[in-house]
Amino acid sequence: MFPKSHLFARYNLTYLPVDETYEVDALIGAFMMARTDVVRDQAGFDPAFFMYGEDVDLCYRIQRSGWKVMYVHTTSIIHYKGESTKRSSINEVRVFYDAMEIFARKHFGGSVLFLAFLRIGIVLRALLARMMRRRTEVVMWMLDMISINLALMVATAVRFDGLFGFPAYAYPIVPIVVTIVATVSLVAVGEYVEYRPTIRRSVVGLLVTFFLLSSLTYFFKEYAFSRGVVLMTIGFSAALFTITRGLLSSLDSHRGVRKRRIILVGLNDHTASIIEELQRAEHRHTEIVGVVATSPFAVDRFCGVPVVGDTSYLARILDVTGAQEVVLTDPDVSHEHAMELMIASSTHRARFHMASEYDDIVTARIINDVAGVEPTVTIPPLMLFRNRVAKRTGDILAALVVLTLGLPFLALLTPRDRVRLWADVFLGRRSVVGLYPDGERRSSGKVGITGLVMISDPRGLSAQTIHHLNDYYVNSYSIALDIEIFLKHLLRRNRG
């Protein structure tokens, strides 16, 4: 961040000149030389380091044995940084910080405080990396919250002749509550976390915000200053949200005019046809950055386009190429597999289409631009962020109640393994309502204490019926369905 700073640039030493020779703490493992006897005395690289950190560890041990580590400027090589991870699914940020933790444990393991700070740093760095990949959504959320608070101030000024016209005790509680309620409402309708921000979805989220804020004033009368202020706040916010999302759409269109970067998945005739159509109809605005195979491959190019890897590390390919669109042309790629690829690559904000011809891509783009959803690759409701959060929250609350207030009854009146099952629910290994084990590998859903299969007698159901019931639960999930299944489970137990 500050390459010339002696304080912040001590790891890479970027404040030192590159055309001088001097002593350093460590060298890069891609190009380092040492006396054979010195390396043998230290037993070489430590195999505890999978990738990254082994060079730092060796240099540190050599220094401690009394030798110097020197940077020599009179020779050089070309190092293609990142090639080891480019064609793999390895999370290099995670691996790097794991290596730093191994190094710290090995040489500074006696300092519990140091290790604690290191772990906090790793978590913060991972969070920052995730936020940077979602920077559009993070910036949009910040703009939305600024907009809604500005709208609140304008509405207050209109109603009470002052930007801060509420009583003194209302600040900062009212702006904080409005921000929290608006954030929860917008996330609940899929904004920021599931789909590209849209005007339609944001307006729905604002309507939910209005009803929630209006409801809160019934319970907290001292904050029921004016329902008109709430209504004006939502109205002004809707106008500001429309402006920001319109600007976002214009920026997206501008980026699209520059160059739309596309990856095609599949080495087949459909891909060849689509490549031809894209090069004919969109050659000015589209760049086909590569073709991705769905199985092991032995070719470097396909129809003149480089083959950049296979689907096992598609997310990494998107990270390297910066592609904004992924077209799945291979008919052997199932909707389930397509959904898994889409979820695994969600942080890159690339659009996914399943298409066998160019017209399918055009149709999907139009629907995506208008509705903000992908019509050809649908994500099951159970995988949606809002449903996962709501379901996990319900599981934790239910498990807490059962394992505290209900523990005496659970221990006395039910088999012992019931306590373990509820403990698994609390730890996230199971769900209160979920799937019945059927041997099928699914990208969503956990085994449940009860479920569609369990409210009947599983012993009387065929394997195919169990499979269909599990599929229905994943594809038709809703909170209401969970409640209905749980109530039927209780009724069945009472009847039994």
Q: Could you tell me if 451 and 434 are in contact, meaning their C-beta atoms sit under 8 angstroms apart?
A: yes
Number of domains forming the structure of the chain: 4
Give a yes or no: residue 9 inside a domain.
no
Give a yes or no: residue 36 inside a domain.
yes
Give a yes or no: residue 14 inside a domain.
no
| Beta-carbon count within 10 A of 274 CB | 25
Q: Which of 378, 399, 432 is where one domain is finished?
A: 378
Give a yes or no: residue 17 inside a domain.
no
Chain centroid to CA 179: 22
pLDDT score at 178: 95
pLDDT score at 78: 80
Whole-number Å distance between alpha carbons of 101 and 56: 12
Q: Which residues contact 263 (CB under 8 A, 6 or more apart)?
A: 288, 289, 290, 291, 292, 308, 317, 318, 321, 323, 325, 326, 327, 350
Q: What is each CA distance from 306 to 203, 293, 337, 378, 419, in whole angstroms?
A: 43, 11, 23, 29, 56
pLDDT score at 257: 46
Per-residue pLDDT of the chain (496 residues; tens, 9 = 90+): 567 777 777 777 888 888 889 999 888 888 889 999 999 999 999 988 888 889 999 999 999 999 999 999 888 888 766 666 655 556 676 778 788 888 888 887 767 777 788 778 777 877 777 777 777 788 899 999 999 999 999 999 998 878 888 888 989 999 999 999 999 999 888 888 766 678 888 999 999 999 999 999 888 888 888 888 999 999 999 999 999 988 877 776 665 445 788 999 999 999 999 999 998 888 888 889 999 998 888 888 999 999 998 888 888 888 888 888 999 998 888 877 887 788 777 767 788 888 989 888 888 887 776 666 666 777 778 888 888 888 999 999 999 998 888 877 776 666 667 788 889 999 999 999 999 998 887 778 899 999 999 888 788 889 899 999 998 998 888 888 999 999 988 887 655 5
Tokens of 260: 């739309």
Residues spanned by the domain of 208: 135-253
- Whether residue 176 is found in the same domain as residue 79: no
- Whether residue 112 is found in the same domain as residue 140: no
Whole-number Å distance between alpha carbons of 481 and 382: 11
- Reference 29, options 6, 4, 65, 60; nearest CA is 60
Q: Which of 348, 378, 408 is where one domain is finished?
A: 378
Give a yes or no: residue 11 inside a domain.
no
Q: Which residues contact 299 (CB under 8 A, 6 or more apart)?
A: 267, 307
- Whether residue 303 is found in the same domain as residue 246: no
Q: What is each CA distance from 83 to 18, 29, 430, in whole angstroms?
A: 24, 14, 39
Whole-number Å distance between alpha carbons of 420 and 438: 21
- Whether residue 239 is found in the same domain as residue 277: no
- Reference 345, options 370, 369, 309, 371; nearest CA is 309
- Whether residue 163 is found in the same domain as residue 196: yes
Q: Which of 253, 286, 309 is where one domain is finished?
A: 253
- Whether residue 166 is found in the same domain as residue 236: yes
Give a yes or no: residue 13 inside a domain.
no
Q: Could you tell me if 264 and 292 are in contact, meaning their C-beta atoms sit under 8 angstroms apart?
A: yes
Whole-number Å distance between alpha carbons of 82 and 320: 10
- Reference 179, options 156, 212, 155; nearest CA is 212
SS3 at position 301:
strand
- Whether residue 105 is found in the same domain as residue 142: no
324-348 b/e with 16+ CB inside 10 Å = b? Answer: bbbbbbbeebeebebbbbbebbbbb
| Residue in the structure block whose two tokens are 């087949």 | 268
pLDDT score at 320: 83
Q: Which residues contact 69 (CB under 8 A, 6 or more apart)?
A: 23, 24, 25, 26, 27, 59, 62, 63
Angle at alpha carbon of residue 187, lines to 183 and 193, rounded to 5°: 120
Give a yes or no: residue 79 inside a domain.
yes
